[in-house]
A and B are shown apart, each in its own frame.
Chain A
């Protein structure tokens, strides 16, 4: 578990996603949704962010101010997770890799691929996992 990656994930989830981080998780990587953000700059590679469905729905509710009783559309859950992935990626690259100017491509739905630096976070709303992979 990469502590820096875990701390950035927890901080962004709380500040931007209004989620409630509880601490590191060590179970299976949540397999419901996964987003990839490809980057290039001083280093090139991929940030993967995986989430359980309940967490992605809670994130969408928080970001879009969707009432608790109303359903969350699949597209809203995916777009909310894309924005979280984008912000986490932008914050972790200069801290974990060489400092400099990074270009982040638009986040895309992807399949989880374990490798590189990893962290898993348990939140009151569900689980998150992140991987930072350098080409």
Chain B
């Protein structure tokens, strides 16, 4: 995965619209260079959004209807056009085994409840920059 060259095109994926708004606000106020923040309510919608427009960074919930976050992540990594997209999972997940599986798929992880600083720090870690 390579660091984006310009302002980030971000996709927030969560089935709760309030959490999508919160994550989107955290990103917008983070100091990260942001071009646009789009939203999707499940993994299937997220794949459609990724295929319809360029996305640098996906902020991903796990427990969602239609397609959960882990299934989405596996489909993303299997798609040659999308596989290098940066992904940070934002979830209440506490299972070490599941978090390791997500990291093995190249995803960052931020535990809910999260602070905006933790979210930005994980994005910087993935991109390879300094907060």
Contact = CB atoms under 8 A, between A and B. Distances in A.
> Is B a genuine binding partner of A?
yes
Interface residues of A, number: 29
Interface string B89-130: 001111101100000000000001111000000000000000
Contact of B97 (A86, A101, A103): A101
B63 interface: yes
Interface stretch (B11-19, B32-40, B73-81): B11-19
A104 B18 CA distance: 18
B57 to A, nearest CB: 22
B18 A89 contact: no
A101 B95 contact: yes
A100 B95 contact: yes
Contacts of B17: 79
Query: Which of the listed residues B25, B65, B113, B114 has the most CB atoms from chain A within 10 Å of its own CB?
Result: B113
Contact of B113 (A15, A79, A93): A15
B22 interface: yes
A16 to B, nearest CB: 4
A28 B91 CA distance: 32
Interface in B15-33: 15-19, 21-22, 25
Interface in A11-63: 11-12, 15-16, 60, 63
A76 interface: yes
Contact of A104 (B19, B63, B95): B63
A65 B21 CA distance: 10
